[in-house]
């Protein structure tokens, strides 16, 4: 069951796992770029956020190249992208670091986009979701692939109110771009 704070506006945390990355030999993990599939999927993720009315007021993005490229390609699908904060602590972050970053978001932000990496993002979604629509939570427990978009909704006066089991997982979408011939 979802714990409600009793008051506060509806807020949404949109979690986006970076798109498919390349694995160039000898390259530092932090500097790995998107693979061709990732270059197709990231804009599809941006279009999906627009089509599902999940455009953020603010984005927090890992500083890893593949996450930054995912942000740029996704946000390029919107008329006016929101502000973005590139957060070094989101790279290879676990749930405590991810939550710490989310808890610093200003209260006026109603929809926050978080772009990062697995396994941390998947674990965060599972930690925060007290329930889900349909079988969305079971799907999230099974797989959270590259370009996956999870939408968590909850009521709270500020982002510090977001806690374990307090959100409803309303959607889990895996956008894919079309291959060029």
pTM here is 0.93
Given a cut of 90, whether residue 5 has pLDDT beyond it is: no
User: Is the torsion defined by CA of 60, 166, 120, 139 positive or negative?
Assistant: negative
% of the chain at pLDDT higher than 90: 85
**Is the predicted pLDDT of residue 35 greater than 60, yes or no?**
yes
Domain 10-20+31-173 has CATH 3.40.50.1240: yes
- Percentage of the chain exceeding pLDDT 70: 95
Helices in 13-164 by DSSP H: which ranges? 36-51, 65-75, 95-103, 120-128, 136-142
CB 141 within 8 A of CB 126: yes
Distance CA 73, CA 93 (A): 22
For the cut 50, the answer to whether the pLDDT of residue 2 exceeds it is no
**Residue 23 CB contacts under 8 Å (≥ 6 apart), including other chains:** 32
Task: Please determine, for residue 164, whether its predicted confidence score (pLDDT) is greater than 60.
Answer: yes
**Chain centroid, CA 164 distance in Å:** 17
Cβ–Cβ < 8 Å for 167, 22? no
- Give phi and psi for 20, each to the nearest 5: -55, 130
Give CA–CA dist 13/151, Å, rounded.
6
pLDDT digits (tens, 9 = 90+) for 97-137: 999 999 999 999 999 999 999 999 999 999 999 988 888 88
Under the banding of pLDDT at 50, 70 and 90, the label for residue 178 is confident
SS3 for 40? helix
Confirm if 16 and 114 have CB atoms less than 8 A apart: yes
Instruction: Compute the C-alpha angle 115/118/120, nearest 5°.
Output: 85
Spans of all domains in the chain: 10-20+31-173
Determine the pLDDT at residue 179: 76
Count of CB atoms situated within 10 Å of the CB of 23: 9
Q: Binning pLDDT at 50, 70 and 90, where does residue 4 land?
A: very low
Whether 6 has a pLDDT exceeding 70, the answer reads: no
Range in 8-12, 13-17, 44-48 with the lowest mean pLDDT: 8-12
Instruction: Check residue 89 and report its DSSP letter.
Output: G
pLDDT value, residue 69:
98
| Pairing state between β 58-62 and 84-87 | parallel
Averaged pLDDT of the chain: 93
**pLDDT grade for 1, boundaries at 50, 70 and 90:** very low
């Amino acid at each position: 069951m979802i714990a409600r704070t009793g008051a506060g506006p509806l807020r949404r945390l949109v979690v986006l796992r970076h798109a498919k990355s390349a694995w160039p030999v000898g390259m530092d993990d932090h500097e790995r770029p998107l693979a061709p599939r990732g270059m197709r999927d990231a804009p599809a993720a941006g279009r999906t956020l627009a089509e599902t009315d999940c455009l953020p007021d603010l984005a927090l993005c890992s500083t890893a190249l593949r996450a930054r490229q995912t942000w740029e390609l996704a946000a390029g699908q919107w008329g006016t992208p929101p502000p973005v904060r590139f957060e070094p602590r989101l790279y290879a972050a676990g749930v405590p670091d991810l939550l710490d970053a989310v808890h610093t978001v200003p209260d006026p932000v109603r929809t926050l986009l978080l772009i990062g990496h697995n396994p941390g993002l998947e674990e965060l979604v599972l930690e925060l979701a007290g329930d889900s629509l349909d079988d969305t939570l079971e799907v999230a427990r099974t797989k959270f692939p590259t370009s996956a978009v999870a939408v968590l909704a909850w009521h709270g006066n500020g982002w510090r109110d977001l806690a374990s089991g307090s959100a409803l997982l309303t959607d889990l979408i895996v956008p894919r771009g079309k291959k060029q011939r």
